[in-house]
Amino acid sequence: MRSRTIGMSVLATSALFGLTTACLPGGGGKAADVGRAARAAEQASDAATQSPTARGKDKSTGVLADLSGAEILSQSYEAMRKVESAHVVAKLREEGKQVEFDLSLDKKGGCNGAIRYEAMGKVDLVKSTDLVHFKGDTDYWRAVAAKKHTPKKQTDAMVTMLADRWLKMPLSDPEAASFAHVCDLGKLTGGSSKPSPLARKGETVAIDGKQALTITSAAKEGTEVDYIATQGTPYLLKSTISGDESGEILFSAFGTPVDTALPEGTDVLDLSKLGGGGPAESV
C-alpha cells in the first residue's frame, strides 16, 4: 500500500534546500538583490463538488458500509486519482524532526502554501506552470548558510538581504526542480498500488466536520489508517502512519482552483536576470 505521508517526507528536505546553491553568498550561483514583499495567500475554500452516494448493493457503487475494507479503499483510490486539485496539510517526523506542509496543489503543477522544517525555518511557495516564487524566513536562510558552512559575516549579510523577500526562478532552471517535485499532486493521489485484502474496516469518525470511515492496513513503514468520506464521493480525507516513521496528511478543498498569482505590486527578485558571482559581491 502506498504511504502518502512518507512520500511527502522524502520531498521535504529537497524542497527546503533545493535552491541553496543558487542563493548562497559566494556559492557560484546567481546574484541576489533586494525586494520586500507581502503575500496575501487566500486559503482555498473547502467546497468540493460531490456526487450523491449510490444506494445499490453493487460493489463498484454500493454504500460504503456494505463493502469490505479493500473495496472501500479501491473506490477511494479511484476517486483520488481523478482529483484535479486539493488542499494538503501534513505533519511528519523525519529523522526526529518535525516537517509540516500546508499547500494547495493541482495536477497542472500549480501550488501555493508553505513548508516548515523544525529548526530550519519556513518557506512560502507559489508555483505556476513555468515559474517558482519562494520566500524564506530568517531561520531558513540561517539554516541554509549553516548547511554550507558560510562564515558569520556573510550569513548575516545574506539574511539581511533575503529574509522574507520573494525570489523568482523559471522552472527551466535545474535549481527549481525540487520545488517542482513537491508541487506534484499526482504523486499523492495517483499510483497503481492495490489495497491489501486484509484491510480492516473500523468505526466512523468526524474529520473536519465530515463523516469518515476508518480503514486500517499494514504498510511497509508500520500501520496506516485511512479515513474515507462516507457522504458524496469517497475521497480520502486523512491518512496516518505509525511505526518506524510517523505522520498524518489531510486532504480537503477537492476541485478548488489554486491561486498562483502574487499580490499586485509585489517587488520580486528575478534570479534568472542576474549575473553570476553570488550575493557575496554585493555585501
Q: Which CATH architecture has domain 4-36+68-255?
A: Clam (2.50)
Q: What is the per-residue pLDDT across 107-117, written as a single tens digit (0 to 9) for each?
A: 988 999 999 98
Residue 123 and residue 11: Cα distance in Å, rounded? 14
Q: Which amino acid is at 117?
A: Y
pTM above 0.85, yes or no: no
Nearest to 240 by CA among 261, 259, 222: 222
% of the chain exceeding 70 in pLDDT: 72
Could you give the CA distance from residue 229 to residue 212 in angstroms, rounded to a whole number? 4
Q: What is the mean pLDDT of residues 202-215?
A: 95
What is the residue extent of each domain of the chain?
Answer: 4-36+68-255
Confidence of residue 266 (pLDDT cuts 50, 70, 90): confident
Which H or E run contains 59?
none
DSSP letter for 128, please.
-
